[in-house]
Every structure is written in C-alpha cells, then in structure tokens.
Chains A and B, each alone.
Chain A
C-alpha cells in the first residue's frame, strides 16, 4: 500500500510514517495543504490520510478540489472535531472515512486497508466466498459447505462486512459504524459477545475456525495463520 499523509503536525506525521513503514507500507508526508493537493494529483498513491486543519488549504477543501479534478483515490480524514455535523461535512466533501484524533494506529491501519480493498473491488459480487463459507447477497442465504444456516438481518450484514474485508483486521469501531451506524463506544464488550454469537453459527464443531478475534485489535474472517 502506498500512503500519502498530509499533516502539519511534524511529530505526529513522523510517527505515522514510521508506523506505516514498520508494517510494510510505503509512505510519505506533506505538511502543507496546497502542496499536498499537488502531490496527490500528480503522483500515484493508493490512499490519502488528510488532516482537517492544514496550513495553505484545509483538509476539506483539498478533498473537494481533488474530487473536482476527477481523482477518486480513497481519502481518510483525521480530525479532532468529532460531532455528527463535522463528520457529515467531511464525508460530503468527498472523503471516504473519518477518524477522530487521538486514534489507535491499528484502527487507522485497519481502515486504510479496508478503503484500499473497497476501491479495488469495484463491482461487488453477488456471492462472497471465504474457504467453504458462502454468502449470497441476492438470496440472502448463507452456508458452510453443505450446512445451511439462518442469520438475523443484522447478523447477515455483519458477516457480509467481515467477508468483504476477508483476511483483514476489522476493528470494533469499524463494525459499529458500518454495520450498526453507531459512532459511539458502548463501553463494554457487547460487540465481542455479539460476535461470539455469530461465531457459534459460522464455526461449528469440527470446522475450520474462520472468525477469529485478534487480541487488542479486532476481528478477522479468514483461514487461520
């Protein structure tokens, strides 16, 4: 993954670059808005991380200009402004995701990978497959090998999301946002328990455990290892 970071806080940018490189991604950082826009439009990158408050040109204007030029590179906005209105503003400007500062690096990484994946899979297939787990979006049915099982609508959506991001780490916050539409932290382990419930249906005795919990990070659907 090739990441372009537009962030004026030098120390934060440096930390982020280091973290991205540690995890095997290519990254560079620009500290000015206008310059960031130029680089984004002229040099190839897979995803942009743009801070909302920037000198030269603020983050939202950057994204608006980028989209106006026809550039569809996925953008994740970093901001300290957390309320609904600001978030909606950010998304309306054309960004694809919105992360509140301070953030966990693992959260950021998971989201960036999800964005890149989403961008690459342009046409969402009607059937999703991971190992012998198959989910059909049209018929709303799920099966594991020959075993058909029923899922409640929300459970279906959850599994669908996990399968769309198969083999990637998906954080609790991402799930709450995309599957439930909630932007708050419920505090306790309610999502964990909900996932266990789903796991009970997906991974039965003797089957390969596909739905894994990654300690401290989130969940992952895929073959173990």
Chain B
C-alpha cells in the first residue's frame, strides 16, 4: 500500500497563518499611523486657525476703537517686508480691500479670486500668480486664511502660508511609509522564522512516525534535556506511545516465536512416547502410565495457552474496572494463603505491613499479579531466607513490595525478563513457563500501576506502584456509593 503521506505537504498552513498574522499587524499599524497622521494634521490646522482667528478679531476690534486709518496703518505695518532671505515658512499675510475690491493695505495685490464669500470660517485657499506681487512670495501656493467683513462692507483677510505645514506633513508621511516598510519586513521575516521552527518540529514528528510505520520501532523523537513547551510534551507523549507499541509488538513477536518453540518440546515428547507405544507391545500398565503422562503433558501445554490468552485478554481489554478493592484486605488474604508454603520451605515472610487504602481495579487481576510475585519470591528464596511483602502508602503513591533474597535478576536482563517466555539461565531448573512476569506486567499496565524490578541486595525486589496521577486511588466514600 502506498504511503499515504507526501513528503512535502502541498498546503503550508503554518506559513500561511504566520503571514496572515504578520499582514494583520501591518494593516493595523498602517491604520493607526494613518489616524495619527490625520490627527496631527488637524491639530496643526487648528492651532493655525486659532491664531488667525484671534488676530482677525483683534484687528476688527481695533477698527471699532480707533477707526479705519488705524487699521490700515496696522495692516500695512504687519504686512511683510519681503526681502530675499525672509522666511516664508510661517509668514502671516494680510489683505484689506474696500467694498469695491480695491486694495487698501496688505500683501495682496487684489482680493484672492479663490474666495467667494466672506466668512469667519478658516479656509485653505490657493493663491494664484500675481495676487502676491512681492518678491519672495512666489513660493507661496496655499494659505490658511480667515476673512472678516467690516461694517462698511470692506473685507479683511488674515492668512498664514502653509509651506511649513506642508513640509512637516510631507516628512511625517515619509516617516510613516518607512516605518510601515520596516514593520512589514520584520513581520514577514518573523513569520517565516516562526513558521519554519514550527514546521521543523512537525517534520520531526512526522518523520519519526513514518520511520515507525516502516518498522523502525526503536525510533524516538529527539527531546532536549530540559523540556519546556508544548512541542516537547507532544514529543514525549508520542515517544511513550511508540514505546508502548514496541512493547506490544515485541511481546507478540516473542510470544509467537516462543509458543512455537517452547511447545514443540512437550508435543514432540508426547509424540515420541505414543510412537514408542505403537512400536512395542506394551503391557496394560505401561499403556496406563503413558496415558497419564500424556495427560499431564497436555495439561502443561494447556496451562501455557491459558496464560498466553490471559495476557492477551488483559493487554487488550478495556481498563475500566470499577471494582473497589481493599488492598490491605487482599494482601492479608494472600499472605495467609502463602504462609504455609513459605513455612514449609523454611522461608520467613516478613511481618505484615499493609496500609489501609482502597483502589479502583480488578480484585481478581491484582490477586493474580501479587500471587504470582509471592509465588516466585518464595520459590526462589533460599532456605532460611526472608521474603518481604508490604503495601506501603507514601504521599501520593501506594507501593506493593515483594522482595526475596534469591538469585535476583541481573540489571541487563531486567527489561527483557518482562517479555513472555523469557527464562533466565539460573531459573531453567525451577518449574515455570516464563510467563509469570509478563502476566504481572500486563496486569500492571491494565491497572495503571508502574512495575519496577530492583536489586534487593541480594535478591530481587519487585514494586507495583499505584499513584494518584492515575485515577485509581479511590477513597473510603467510594465504598458507600450505590
């Protein structure tokens, strides 16, 4: 079946999103800067207008108080002396005309043609050629002006050249454009960097997944020592998942191989035995003996199959056991069951130390697991040895500990001994099928407990740890629930 995933995804979602974000930032920046520009412009005009307005009114008052001549003189005085070096920038301009439009005083040769009616509203008016005759004024294009209609019909104009304002506005606009350019560039670069970083993580994950699909079950995503963010968490979880898959696959693989291998011997034995019977003329008692042995052999084989089935069922079953188990009671029970056996072998069982705690899980499975461990511990203990069997509550965890002083398990074998059918050389003479610890592991997984194999110095110490993180630690009130 063709690999369903292309190497290069056609739609680069992350990059698109990042660029979309960058563009939004630019757009908002542009909008804000635009508003600022507009606002500043309006403020400038407002300031100028205020000044013009004040002056126009003052001049109007002047005429009222001191008469036309005073006004004419003042205007004439204020009107510009336009030498070659005069600053045009914020210069005030005046025009005073009679009702007929003839010039009385001011910079203007004639009343600016672009003004239609006299009003107190400030206007921006364009000055045509010739209206400002003096040298130096030819740089003036637009002015902001206030016009005042005098009682006798004459008109007064007070204006200000907008050259300065225009220059300012021009500079501001350039600044805005430049800023936007920088923002846009930064945003785009940032977006690409961000996108590429995210994509690297995604690619690492999908590459690993692809490798695992191709059969490389030992592949893991590289995670830095100091895990900090969601990517690392995702990587850790996926690694754990691959680990679990590897475990299950290995278990299955090992089981299949070993079932074939381990069961071939007893079946061959049975066959030989029966074949031998066929070849000779055995007596009735010989037949009887052969039949008994064959039955015993088939029983052994059936037990192995049962154990394999149990493990498979436990591993693939839903872990939703709702039974409330009294761990202390269970441990007491099992201790009592195994005490005679320990006694008979000269093995000392430690004094009972069982914490009162309730667990959610299957009593049957837990009993099976602990019984398995106890059985092993007693079986492998030397005469006179001590077996420790406790259930201890420490903080948020409950540890069920079974420790013996037997041969133990060398560190290098501790991982693989949990796989089905593995028997270490030291234990080949002891009866068993190598499925015990595999079963315990399957049950531990199902009940949400962690399984640890430790050195008991000497011997083996097995710990089943139930922690509060997994929601298995029930409280006493659970017992009262209907």
Contact between chains at A194 and B337 (CB < 8 Å): yes
Contact between chains at A186 and B375 (CB < 8 Å): yes
Q: Does A196 contact B (CB under 8 A)?
A: yes
Q: Is the interface of A mostly helix, strand, loop or mixed?
A: loop
Per-residue interface assignment for chain B, residues 332 to 352, with 1 indicating a CB less than 8 Å from any chain A CB and 0 otherwise? 010011101100100000000
Contact between chains at B367 and A182 (CB < 8 Å): yes
**Which chain A residues border B337 with CB–CB below 8 Å?**
154, 180, 186, 190, 194
Q: Does B133 contact A (CB under 8 A)?
A: no
Contact of B368 among A182, A196, A197, A216 (CB under 8 A): A182
Q: Which of B14-22, B121-129, B302-310, B450-458 contacts A (4 or more CB under 8 A)?
A: B302-310
Per-residue interface assignment for chain B, residues 279 to 310, with 1 indicating a CB less than 8 Å from any chain A CB and 0 otherwise? 00000000000001000000100110010011
Contact between chains at A152 and B336 (CB < 8 Å): yes
Q: Does A184 contact B (CB under 8 A)?
A: yes
Contact between chains at B364 and A194 (CB < 8 Å): no
Contact between chains at B333 and A154 (CB < 8 Å): yes
Q: Is the interface of B mostly helix, strand, loop or mixed?
A: helix
- The residue among B333, B340, B344, B368 with the most chain A CB atoms within 10 A of its own CB is B340
CA distance A197 to B338 in the complex (A): 11
Contact between chains at B313 and A83 (CB < 8 Å): yes
Per-residue interface assignment for chain A, residues 188 to 199, with 1 indicating a CB less than 8 Å from any chain B CB and 0 otherwise? 111001101100
Contact between chains at B368 and A102 (CB < 8 Å): no
Q: Give how many B residues have a beta carbon under 8 Å from the other chain's beta carbons.
A: 28
Contact between chains at B303 and A185 (CB < 8 Å): yes
Contact between chains at B336 and A188 (CB < 8 Å): no
Contact between chains at A182 and B336 (CB < 8 Å): no
Contact between chains at B362 and A84 (CB < 8 Å): yes
User: A87 to nearest B CB, angstroms?
Assistant: 10
CA distance A38 to B247 in the complex (A): 51
Q: Given A152-B336, A185-B303, A188-B375: A193 and B341 within 8 A (CB)? A: yes
**Which chain A residues border B306 with CB–CB below 8 Å?**
82, 185
User: B17 to nearest A CB, angstroms?
Assistant: 48
- The residue among A82, A83, A181 with the most chain B CB atoms within 10 A of its own CB is A83
Q: Does B179 contact A (CB under 8 A)?
A: no
Q: Does B379 contact A (CB under 8 A)?
A: yes
**Which chain B residues border A187 with CB–CB below 8 Å?**
303, 372, 375, 432, 436
User: A154 to nearest B CB, angstroms?
Assistant: 6
Contact between chains at A154 and B341 (CB < 8 Å): no
Q: Which of A74-112 contact B (CB under 8 A)?
A: 82-84, 102, 104
**Which chain A residues border B292 with CB–CB below 8 Å?**
216
User: B262 to nearest A CB, angstroms?
Assistant: 16
Q: Given A102-B302, A152-B336: A193 and B317 within 8 A (CB)? A: no
Q: Does A118 contact B (CB under 8 A)?
A: no
Contact between chains at A190 and B375 (CB < 8 Å): yes
- Residues in A lying within 8 Å of B, measured CB to CB: 82-84, 102, 104, 152, 154, 180-190, 193-194, 196-197, 216
Starting from the known contacts A190-B371, A194-B341, 11 additional A-B residue pairs (CB-CB under 8 Å) come to A82-B309, A84-B362, A84-B364, A102-B302, A154-B333, A180-B333, A184-B310, A185-B306, A187-B436, A193-B344, A196-B340
